[in-house]
Chain A
Amino acid sequence: MLAALATLRKTLFSRFMAGVGGLLALALATVQTILGAMPATSLPTVAPGEAIDAGRWRVAVLAAKVSTEPRPDGYRGPQGKASLSVDLDILNQTSESSNVVSRILTIDPPIAGLEGSPTFYLLRDRSILNALHPGLPERVRVVWAIPAEAVPPDTVRLTITAETFKPRDNLLATPGWFNPKTIAAVTLPLGSAGRGDGS
């Protein structure tokens, strides 16, 4: 009888402890989710032309404009569309050539009618940007198509996304860049006042 009681107590105790552990894990996961979903309290603001360290890139946002002029390679864009272009100075800070630049800029708040993914142009060649090599800074123009009749706002706010380096990822133990995070914002005047140099 006594032995049976002791076994029962042991079983109950171990179940209780497992329950406590489970609850703790649940609480931790919930707190993490809530923290992750919270908007960044205050995003640092950088001035136009100020270089910022964005993980694998060092980037300075120079100027923005809306125009109906041809793109750097001479393409006039889709019919009935103007282009919103942003000029950048960008340097690959990693040790490898890379062409993964498309994720660094986001227009926030978004501008109505803007088409999803922009095209990147290398202004040195006036052609579409391929890879950027380490230690070789380049001036790049990012072009979004925007309806020609749309009235653009006076300013455009861009956020810059950076990733962090992991020397060994969890799957293949290879080095890589992970966890994109918005690190800074820059506000640029748009329109004739914000015309970048070199059209």
Chain B
Amino acid sequence: MRLLLQFIAILAAAGMLLGMQRSTPGYAEITGPLPASGRPGETIPARSFTLTVEKLVLAERIRYRAYGRDFERSTTGLWAVVVARLEARPESVSIGGALWRSTAGFRFEASQRVAGAPRLLTAGRIEPGLPARGILVFELPRDQAAGGTLLVSTARWPRLDSQARVSFAADAAESADVLDLNGLANE
């Protein structure tokens, strides 16, 4: 009888430990990004910048001029171009992390295929007091293009730092066949 009780106690303890282990968030979750959420059109304050998304355009192809040449880029999916305004405060920032999280949970980094395109927010630095209007360009499969969330942070993998999150409704996007990036985000 005593042995049985001991056995049950050990089982109960093991079960409790397992439950505690499973319900504890991991280190990566505890030290993850601190979300600052909003909708397009709202000004979202993050720790070192504010972000205002103006519009989202889905395009079959994009065109831009860089390094003295004209480029036209195709894709098997769609190009998602976000026009946004960023203001650094209280110090200069550069945007190291720009991600598109689709409604299915896929995470797309900003495309490097448009390197050199005008007014990319991920290129260069934004100074305090000089808000910058610019673009973020993503490449998405067609079935992932409806809705989604834009994640913007200064670090590529923000740890205990804020991440601006802008969630788009499924019908929030304008669409275009060929989108010209030149002058798209001019003041």
Q: Is B28 an interface residue (CB 8 A)?
A: yes
Let me know if A135 and B112 touch, CB within 8 A. no
Let me know if A136 and B75 touch, CB within 8 A. yes
Given the contacts A133-B139, A172-B26, A174-B26, A97 and B109 also touching, CB distance less than 8 Å: yes
Q: Is A79 an interface residue (CB 8 A)?
A: no
Q: Give B contacts to A, CB under 8 Å.
A: 26-28, 73-77, 105-109, 111-113, 139-141, 143-144
User: In which size bucket is the chain A interface?
Assistant: 10 to 19
Which of A125, A131, A135 makes the CB contact (< 8 A) with B143?
Answer: A135
Chain B residue at minimum C-beta to C-beta distance from A168: B26
Chain A residue at minimum C-beta to C-beta distance from B115: A130
Let me know if A173 and B28 touch, CB within 8 A. yes
Let me know if B77 and A136 touch, CB within 8 A. yes
Chain B residue at minimum C-beta to C-beta distance from A94: B106
Q: Is A72 an interface residue (CB 8 A)?
A: no
Chain A residue at minimum C-beta to C-beta distance from B157: A174
Given the contacts A124-B74, A130-B112, A130-B113, A135 and B26 also touching, CB distance less than 8 Å: no
CA gap between A172 and B28 in the complex, in Å: 6
CA gap between A172 and B25 in the complex, in Å: 11
Which of A97, A127, A174 makes the CB contact (< 8 A) with B108?
Answer: A97
Using Cβ atoms and an 8 Å threshold, which residues of chain B touch A127? Answer: 113
Q: Is A138 an interface residue (CB 8 A)?
A: yes
Which 9 A-B residue pairs are closest in the complex by CB-CB distance?
A173-B26, A135-B141, A130-B112, A97-B109, A174-B28, A96-B107, A95-B106, A134-B106, A172-B27
Given the contacts A172-B27, A173-B26, A173-B28, A135 and B107 also touching, CB distance less than 8 Å: no
Let me know if A131 and B105 touch, CB within 8 A. no
Smallest distance from the beta carbon of B23 to chain A beta carbons, Å? 13
Let me know if A136 and B76 touch, CB within 8 A. yes
Q: Give the most central of B27, B106, B144: most A CB within 10 Å.
A: B106
Q: Is A137 an interface residue (CB 8 A)?
A: yes
